[in-house]
Amino acid sequence: MRFVDEFRDAEKARALSAKITSLCEPGRHYKFMEVCGGHTHTIYKHGLEDYLPESITLVHGPGCPVCVIPMGRIDDAIHIARQPGVLMTSFGDMMRVPGSGGNFFDSNAEGTNIRMVYSPLDSLKIARQNPDLRVVFMAIGFETTTPSTAMTLLRAAAEGIENFSVFGNHVTIIPAIKAILDSPDLRLDGFIGPGHVSTVIGCRPYEFIARDYGKPVVVAGFEPLDILQSIYLLMVQLSEKRSEVENQYSRVVPWNGNIVALKAINEVMELRPYFEWRGLGFITHSAMAVREKYAAFDAERIFEIPGLRVADPKACQCGEVLKGVLKPWECKVFGTACTPETPIGTCMVSPEGACAAYYNFGRFSRQRVREASRA
């Protein structure tokens, strides 16, 4: 096996693998969802599925914020960028996400000014230095980036920077997990909980999964051994017929999260009644909008947003991949019409997208994984 030599803790991984295998009930098949795109990346990069018995399948979840943004929001952003005097900013990951008429680079070729920034604070600085421009930050991400947007908006308000606004697209992970649990398409046995999101929200928000759905959750770190250790902890819970929330990543994730961050988010933003997710459709209370108190900094109130729904290209099956119903290579255009160079769907754009991660790292063990998923 090609991957075994590649990572330094292969010995420990094999030991964990043996412990995991010993807990498998004969004839039972287990499906665990890793919610976070960072975990998907580690799994493919290190070929972790090769360390698992064939009766365990890892299902990739919706935890890649770039992947779940519907095409219509890209079109809306480009519409804002076309308004007079607007300079739009966003994270680099967003630049190549296709809207219905092309991505941000294509839009810039037609005259818009959309720039990539590392931090919302960079966007605020551009606004401060260019008072004649209307600087809009296209905010995106789960709870790892939401506090940064909130803190930046608070700073803009404190400094009275009137030419800065936020086009809010922050999504929240819990309603997406609930939508997947309520979906009849997929039966899961447990969750590998996201690491960095949990540094903000803590572990308590996952308790309903264990309590109401009877599924164990283990919040996990990003190293290969973290993930194998978390799968082991999930298997121990199942073998003991327990369903609890455990924190494997306690060296970084506090049980109660980051209170300062949660307060900042709550000060500036509120839950939207609903938000459209690519592949998952409209999910109630699943995204954040800027509160009316900060309307002067809310691009959705400053500009008229078309808000059109745009259907995904017919060939693209990102929706099924995001729900965990399809594996990346089962999509009809994977690796042929859709590659990281010419992505059709969002899952191939972001490095944390399941398709891009699999395309870049996973193809070598494809046959083995395919066999495992059929078992």
Partner 1 sequence: MCLGIPGEIIEISEDRPDLAKVSVSGVKRLINIGLLEDDPPKPGEWILIHVGFALSKIDEAEAAAALDFLESIGKAYEDEMAALLESQID
Interhelix angle 37-45/224-239, nearest 10 degrees: 110
Q: How far is the CB of 124 from partner 1 (least distance, A)?
A: 8
CB 199 within 8 A of CB 171: no
- Are 130 and 87 in contact, with CB atoms under 8 Å apart? yes
C-alpha span between 326 and 324 (Å, rounded): 6
Asked if 120 is part of the footprint of partner 1 (rule: CB under 8 A), the reply reads: yes
The one among 10, 20, 88, 200 contacting partner 1 by CB under 8 A: 200
Least distance between partner 1 and beta carbon 74 (Å): 16
Closest CA to 311 of 47, 15, 72, 61: 72
Spatial separation of the C-alpha atoms in residues 19 and 127, rounded to whole Å: 55
Dihedral over Cα of 123, 128, 130, 131: its sign: positive
Task: Tell whether residue 364 is a contact of partner 1 (CB under 8 A).
Answer: no
Smallest separation (angstroms) from partner 1 to the CB of 140: 8
Beta pairing class for 30-36 and 86-90: unpaired
Q: Mark residues 73-102: x for contact with partner 1 by CB under 8 A, - for none.
A: ------------------xxx---------
Contacts (Cβ under 8 Å, ≥6 apart) of 113: 81, 86, 87, 88
Cα angle, residue 270 at apex, residues 65 and 126 outer, rounded to 5°? 65
Per DSSP, the three-state class of 215 is coil
| Interaction between residue 144 and partner 1 (CB under 8 A) | yes
Query: For partner 1, which residue of 203, 261, 283, 318 counts as binding (CB under 8 A)?
Result: 261
Q: How far is the CB of 238 from partner 1 (least distance, A)?
A: 27
> If binding is defined by CB under 8 A, does position 363 make contact with partner 1?
no
Number of residues that bind partner 1 (CB under 8 A): 44
For residues 37 to 76, the per-residue mask of contacts with partner 1, x marking binding by CB under 8 A and - elsewhere, is xx--xx--xx-----------------xx-----------
Partners of 31 in the β-ladder: 57
Place of tokens 């965990």: 324
Residues 266-305 that bind partner 1 (CB under 8 A): none
Write down the least CB distance from residue 299 to partner 1, Å. Answer: 18
Q: Binder to partner 1 among 29, 31, 125, 301 (CB under 8 A)? A: 125
Interface residue list for partner 1 (CB under 8 A): 7, 37-38, 41-42, 45-46, 64-65, 91-93, 116-122, 125, 140-142, 144-145, 147-148, 151, 196, 199-200, 222-223, 251-254, 258-261, 264, 351-352
